[in-house]
Amino acid sequence: MASPGVTAEDAAYWYAPLARAIPAAALTCVITFAGGFYTPEYGLASFGGYAIVVGILGAVLALRALPRGVLRTVFLIQAVVSLAAGIAALVGMHGGLPVLLVVVALWGIIAGFLELYAGIRSRRTRAVARDWIFIGALTVLFAVVCLVIPPDYVQHYNAPGDGGARILNASVMVVGAMGIYGAVVAVYLAIAGFSLRFGASTAVKDGATS
């Protein structure tokens, strides 16, 4: 999370992580309420909507919350990548598992490394850099998971209770991993936003009483 030494610049950025947590939480809810029937089409539709929202939101936040410079440029590029990935997912929604794997993995690698770069570059000057490093690394890890799952993996099993026969395949694992990714991102960014907001207030009070 954000370090205790939160600067005024970081404190002013507190709403950005909270805003980013909202689409991640929505993605998790959409996937959770699917009841485990994770087809490639459902995964592409869910990811496409998420990526488009993230792209638009990322561009707005980069322009409003970051000063002109390298960091703003990096996050604007990330926003464009997300927007393009979302559009590609919706356009290729009937392309099946190959499209799902390629679009999600490419997005995760590019967007993740961009955020990781922003965090590493600013780790000595911005408290929020730790959050960027974590989310960037997590996004890259999610992409790697999508790449290592065997596309032809299929396992039949019986669901507990009256769930009946189910199939565990690559699509189910990718979409399920997407839901887990969204949940971790949502919780982490929500905590990070409040840490920036109240961490600055605590620092000011400590400075005033010292």
DSSP letters spanning 89-103:
HHHTTTS-HHHHHHH
125-135 pLDDT, tens digit each:
888 999 999 99
Measured distance CA(37)–CA(18) in Å, rounded: 30
What are the residue ranges in the chain where pLDDT is below 70?
1-5, 36, 156-166, 199-210
H/E stretch holding 189 reads helix 170-209
User: Residue 4: its pLDDT value, please?
Assistant: 39
Closest CA to 41 of 121, 97, 116: 97
User: Residue 160: its pLDDT value, please?
Assistant: 61
Angle between helices 170-209 and 40-65 in degrees, nearest 10 = 20
User: Residue 203: its pLDDT value, please?
Assistant: 43
User: Residue 205: its pLDDT value, please?
Assistant: 45
User: Residue 91: its pLDDT value, please?
Assistant: 97
User: Residue 169: its pLDDT value, please?
Assistant: 85
Closest CA to 102 of 128, 78, 84: 84
Measured distance CA(72)–CA(58) in Å, rounded: 10
25-46 pLDDT, tens digit each:
999 999 998 876 789 999 999 9
User: Residue 206: its pLDDT value, please?
Assistant: 44
State pTM to two decimals. 0.88
